A = this chain, B = another copy of it.
Amino acid sequence: MERIDKVNGTFGRRAPAVSRDSVSPAVIKRLPRYHRYLGELLRNDRLRISSSELSRIMRVTASQIRQDLNCFGGFGQQGYGYNVKYLYGKISELLGVSAGYRAVIVGAGNLGKALVSSHMFERRGVIRSALFDIDEELVGKTFSDLKVYHVDELENYCRENRIDIGVLTVPRDAAAGVAETMAKAGVRGIWNFANMELRLDEYDVIVQNMHIGDSLMTLCYEMVSKEDKHEARPEVEGK
């Protein structure tokens, strides 16, 4: 059993870690969503929330919530609800939000610009360091406070600035080459939007392939399924 600090509000002052091994992969998968909701509550100055209210806004059963969050400790005195800040801090810590990873974004096209202009990185504790592109017209410009460098400088930049994460928004043909350059320069995680499944088996790098279009496909599937059901209603075929 892991030791858990039962005192609330210690987040930010070296709160003892929840062991990653003690949390099941299924719970881990659901934590980003809790993190989003708790962050939203914090931004609205909500400091406490009951499992039943959290259940209502997140549309998850209260018992599921208690099951998911009971490994974090520091909450749940009957009638008081969760300490939002504490729980947010614990989940952040577990998910690596406080790891302070540094990221570069390669590809200063529309998607690259969209990513760097969002709060996506800061909300997850990732420091955006620079943009890179091959287009000389973009090199030297600044978008969302980030300078654009030429990709020729990528390897040196990553090494010198100890970059942890590379975000790939380059065309798919360029993706593998750029990824390898970054891996050689010590980058340990790649977030790949290049619409191909990147593999870097030779390197000690974690790749997260982001297929935005799969989500459009899921939407279409749910729409046709619903139509099936509507169509099936008036006439029931013999089975």
Q: Which residues of A contact B (CB under 8 A)?
A: 20, 28, 31-33, 35-36, 40, 94-97, 99, 101, 109-111, 113-115, 117-121, 123-126, 164-165, 188-189, 191, 195-196, 206, 208, 210-226, 228
Shortest A235–chain B CB gap in Å is 15
Measured between beta carbons, the chain B residues less than 8 angstroms from A40 are: 196
Main secondary structure, interface of A, reads helix
CB pairs A–B below 8 angstroms (13 shown): A20-B228, A35-B217, A95-B217, A96-B220, A96-B223, A111-B111, A123-B213, A126-B220, A164-B223, A189-B223, A206-B222, A208-B219, A212-B212
Q: Say how many copies of this protein the assembly contains.
A: 2
Please state if A212 and B210 are interface contacts (CB–CB under 8 Å).
yes
How long is the Cα–Cα vector from A123 to B224 in the complex, in angstroms?
Answer: 17
- A213's partner among B110, B113, B120, B226 (CB-CB below 8 A) is B120
Centre residue among A94, A114, A219 by max chain B CB count within 10 A? A219
Shortest A171–chain B CB gap in Å is 10
List 9 other contacts, CB 8 Å, given A96-B223, A188-B226, A208-B222: A31-B221, A32-B218, A33-B214, A94-B221, A96-B217, A96-B224, A110-B111, A114-B114, A124-B213
Please state if A121 and B223 are interface contacts (CB–CB under 8 Å).
no
Shortest A57–chain B CB gap in Å is 9
Please state if A20 and B95 are interface contacts (CB–CB under 8 Å).
no
Shortest A41–chain B CB gap in Å is 13
Chain B residue with Cβ nearest A224: B96
Please state if B97 and A220 are interface contacts (CB–CB under 8 Å).
yes
Measured between beta carbons, the chain B residues less than 8 angstroms from A118 are: 195, 213
- A95's partner among B109, B120, B208, B221 (CB-CB below 8 A) is B221
Please state if B120 and A219 are interface contacts (CB–CB under 8 Å).
no
Chain B residue with Cβ nearest A225: B20
- A124's partner among B33, B36, B220, B226 (CB-CB below 8 A) is B220
Shortest A126–chain B CB gap in Å is 7
Shortest A86–chain B CB gap in Å is 19
Measured between beta carbons, the chain B residues less than 8 angstroms from A125 are: 220
